[in-house]
Chain A
């Protein structure tokens, strides 16, 4: 009924609008019925272009038209869920794996069955990422994770620990060679994604593991003792400590700081590489170091994947596309060329790593990473966790900040 009355509203609105202003155009176009045998893919503008030739090839092979429609990345998930509800969604959508939980909760995507021989071709972590509640919901094609970039002119050797990094950075800063010890974006509201490697190294966790290996939303780690201890360590790097982490470094200036040679170390992902190349900065890529007495720093692994819409008109074709077509290395390589992130297919990864040694290093730096949780509950973490991080870096009391973040998250998860 909601949808219907919304439609009536739009109808009346359009009616009134055009009744008052005579545009002279003929507006009697029939409602756009999906032509028989047209498969629709939604992707963000960058991938749309790379997908086009493959869509045509797939269409040619199966006698259907494949239409790739470009939707801005920030609207893609919302639009998809809304369109699904209205029954006008696409057959396939290309998106980030951490949408999985929300898409499943809304019944907007179908599970995918990959035959074992196909599944073996993918990097295991990429399949883990699109697995939700023990089931596979998408077919991955690219991965990404944070790494440590190092200006090799300023710091020839990669630091093995955070402490070493801070020592080298402080030395350079004292010598006046750089302005900042490290460029890691924090911003006024904090940034959970970028601080997570340090948080995990210091022993903090977000969700505990339940049975069958998936994450357990009932065991939420923020606010527990381990997280407070982890943030104590992060606080030592903060503004009243070493000064390696600062709220004034945000997503706008983190890259330019490194690219202008004002810092020797920069925590970011493969998307930052093109700017570095343009700036001509000599860089090396290594894993993000952990604390001396802590565990390994585990960055989040983000995976880009194809999802089959549960409301699509061409579900069989869409399943065929993801099980047999996305698993082809050429498509992965083309998508890599459109946007240089490591392919999820092992064979494609090896192919592009030969021409682009950076990629192999990025993958290596993410070898022990954690897939970004795709639980719907994750959306309650970002805000409070980030604010706790910002408060701790500003030098506020750690137990208060992390404790109240934990309470807020628990409240919101409900």
Chain B
């Protein structure tokens, strides 16, 4: 790599040659690994996440061991790739699988304590006859540690000091107030500055000066207070939330992660719980899934296979056209033009194509003088999507095929011709099989990518057209767009359910890829 002439001559008995630059690079990389380890460790230490800390320490130690020890040469090469594989492939899959057995999603994001805190905080209602007080936050003694006191001025000018014990009247002579009546100082109390109040923000927000029958005076910002009552409280003995206004008890349902009343009414704020195979069962037994899954799957396979076939044929055909013995005049210009769709942002292109298919205002109908509702009919919509996706995808195939063709010796084809084969036969039986050795993995990845090509569908037809009797499954829906609608359309984001469906799709793609890889082994034997 960088072993320059001027580097010190390595000693002969020192194994592989190590240049000064290489050594510096190594030291630098290891230093970075160490500093990264520290960077990752600090927040883990703060959060007392010992498992995480252990993993970071182990990985860092492994890196140092692998690159400082003269042995284990294969490990030196394998380690970076393996770590990346674990970080970017295996962990996300494990995370998805672990999420798929929970109810994680909107309304079930946090733990039970958070849900209780939210329920209690949200149940504070302003007392019907609440007085609005002018508020000054003060402390009894030291600003940082003294007991919090609300110095309050009622609209009638009466002044009070309120703390967790209750409200006591103040003599008007003991306080100083600004023209609006808000207290600026009181004997025996330290008025807090904004900074001091903010430092104790949690306490200030939690303080409710009791005024009898469960209500309390609470702060609303720095300068106002009101009388309010928390109507819902969590009670440990029954593991339930009791609404004091209605008397209804909401019992904790640990299976659903919700507080539910006897007549089935659930509080909005829930928590995350494990739900076992529920998400998988829900997908398998869903009414619309049962009726539309197989048609969607069929089209999905058709879409992925069709796209792969079309981009491959078109890309290869163009590559063959360009693959002349003498370079074509303007060859690089042609190549640039052909690669152009690949270079443009596909997001914008997909939206542009969608507009071109518009029945009344689209470029295609206008130019051809047609009145076809391209995206409105099942088969025209499917054809349109395939066309757009082919347009977006063929340049890549063209590039790959051009490269692969260079690697196939021309002489082989010529020899076949001399032996009497037609040009087509020579291509089909000699060049193509050799080409396929390089192309097959690419075709499989193209298939797998297009199997889940969310953007191509979502930005053009959004899964439509829909049959009027089923608004949840359209005729160009892929599994991924269909389940996106199911998991994120109905009740906000339902990550648990979405993960379960992802696991299904992952299995389908994995099986299809495995089968086609098996098939491709046969091709590899050509060589």
Contact pick for B39, options A29, A394, A412, CB 8 Å? A29
B contact residues around A85 at 8 Å (CB): 109-110
Supposing A36-B199, A115-B132 touch, asked if A22 and B29 sit within 8 A by C-beta, the answer is yes
A67 beta carbon closer than 8 Å to chain B = no
B contact residues around A387 at 8 Å (CB): 464, 466, 471
B contact residues around A188 at 8 Å (CB): 375-376, 461-462, 464-465
A-B contacts counted at CB < 8 A amount to: 282
B299 beta carbon closer than 8 Å to chain A = no
B contact residues around A414 at 8 Å (CB): 490-491
Supposing A7-B43, A189-B464, A396-B468 touch, asked if A15 and B122 sit within 8 A by C-beta, the answer is no
Q: Which of B487-502 contact A (CB under 8 A)?
A: 489-493
**A12 close to B193 (CB less than 8 A):** no
A106, A315, A379: which has the most chain B beta carbons within 10 Å? A106
Q: Which of B443-467 contact A (CB under 8 A)?
A: 461-462, 464-466
Q: Which of A188-213 contact B (CB under 8 A)?
A: 188-189
**A111 close to B87 (CB less than 8 A):** no
Question: How many angstroms from the CA of A405 to the CA of B49 in the assembled complex?
Answer: 48
B42, B87, B221: which has the most chain A beta carbons within 10 Å? B221
B228 beta carbon closer than 8 Å to chain A = yes
B contact residues around A320 at 8 Å (CB): 221-223
Interface size class of chain A, counting residues whose CB lies under 8 Å from the partner chain: 35 or more
Supposing A15-B60, A28-B38 touch, asked if A317 and B124 sit within 8 A by C-beta, the answer is no
A20 beta carbon closer than 8 Å to chain B = yes
A contact residues around B493 at 8 Å (CB): 78
Interface string of A1-29 (1 = CB under 8 A from B): 01011111101111111111111101111
Interface size class of chain B, counting residues whose CB lies under 8 Å from the partner chain: 35 or more
**A383 close to B80 (CB less than 8 A):** no
**B39 close to A27 (CB less than 8 A):** yes
B121 beta carbon closer than 8 Å to chain A = yes
A contact residues around B32 at 8 Å (CB): 18-19, 22-23, 27
A246 beta carbon closer than 8 Å to chain B = yes
Supposing A5-B95, A105-B269, A107-B118 touch, asked if A380 and B376 sit within 8 A by C-beta, the answer is no
Supposing A15-B37, A28-B35, A391-B466 touch, asked if A8 and B126 sit within 8 A by C-beta, the answer is no
**A316 close to B110 (CB less than 8 A):** no
**B56 close to A26 (CB less than 8 A):** no
A388 beta carbon closer than 8 Å to chain B = yes
**B491 close to A376 (CB less than 8 A):** yes
**A13 close to B491 (CB less than 8 A):** no
Question: How many angstroms from the CA of A323 to the CA of B117 in the assembled complex?
Answer: 23
Question: How many angstroms from the CA of A112 to the CA of B219 in the assembled complex?
Answer: 10
Supposing A27-B36, A134-B125, A400-B469 touch, asked if A17 and B84 sit within 8 A by C-beta, the answer is yes
Question: How many angstroms from the CA of A132 to the CA of B76 in the assembled complex?
Answer: 59
**A26 close to B35 (CB less than 8 A):** yes
Question: How many angstroms from the CA of A391 to the CA of B269 in the assembled complex?
Answer: 36
Contact pick for B106, options A81, A110, A113, A116, CB 8 Å? A81
Q: Which of A58-73 contact B (CB under 8 A)?
A: 62-64
B-binding segment of A46-54, A149-157, A247-255: A247-255
**B83 close to A317 (CB less than 8 A):** no
Interface string of B288-322 (1 = CB under 8 A from A): 10000000000000000000000000000000000
B47 beta carbon closer than 8 Å to chain A = yes
**B122 close to A111 (CB less than 8 A):** yes
B234 beta carbon closer than 8 Å to chain A = no
Supposing A8-B56, A19-B63 touch, asked if A110 and B121 sit within 8 A by C-beta, the answer is yes
A contact residues around B395 at 8 Å (CB): none
A contact residues around B376 at 8 Å (CB): 188, 247, 394
Chain B residue nearest in CB terms to A406:
B471
B100 beta carbon closer than 8 Å to chain A = no
B52, B461, B472, B485: which has the most chain A beta carbons within 10 Å? B472
B470 beta carbon closer than 8 Å to chain A = yes
Contact pick for A401, options B36, B198, B468, CB 8 Å? B468
**B268 close to A105 (CB less than 8 A):** yes
Question: How many angstroms from the CA of A115 to the CA of B180 in the assembled complex?
Answer: 15
A142 beta carbon closer than 8 Å to chain B = no
A contact residues around B275 at 8 Å (CB): none
B28 beta carbon closer than 8 Å to chain A = yes
B contact residues around A116 at 8 Å (CB): 132
Contact pick for A11, options B35, B44, B272, B461, CB 8 Å? B44
A384 beta carbon closer than 8 Å to chain B = yes
**B194 close to A13 (CB less than 8 A):** no
B contact residues around A11 at 8 Å (CB): 36, 39-40, 44, 52, 56
Contact pick for B194, options A14, A62, A377, CB 8 Å? A62
B contact residues around A64 at 8 Å (CB): 194-195, 198
Question: How many angstroms from the CA of A36 to the CA of B202 in the assembled complex?
Answer: 14
B contact residues around A323 at 8 Å (CB): 220-221, 224
17 CB < 8 A contacts A-B: A4-B44, A4-B47, A7-B47, A9-B87, A12-B55, A15-B36, A16-B83, A19-B83, A27-B35, A113-B226, A189-B464, A314-B201, A323-B224, A324-B222, A380-B491, A404-B469, A404-B470
A-B residue pairs, 7 tightest by C-beta: A412-B490, A107-B118, A11-B40, A16-B83, A320-B221, A13-B87, A248-B360
Interface residues of B (CB under 8 A from A): 25, 28-30, 32-33, 35-40, 42-44, 47, 49, 51-52, 55-56, 59-60, 63, 80, 83-84, 86-88, 91-92, 95, 98-99, 104, 106-107, 109-110, 114-115, 117-118, 121-122, 124-126, 132, 193-195, 197-199, 201-202, 204-205, 218-224, 226, 228, 268-269, 272, 287-288, 351, 355, 358-362, 375-376, 461-462, 464-466, 468-472, 485, 489-493
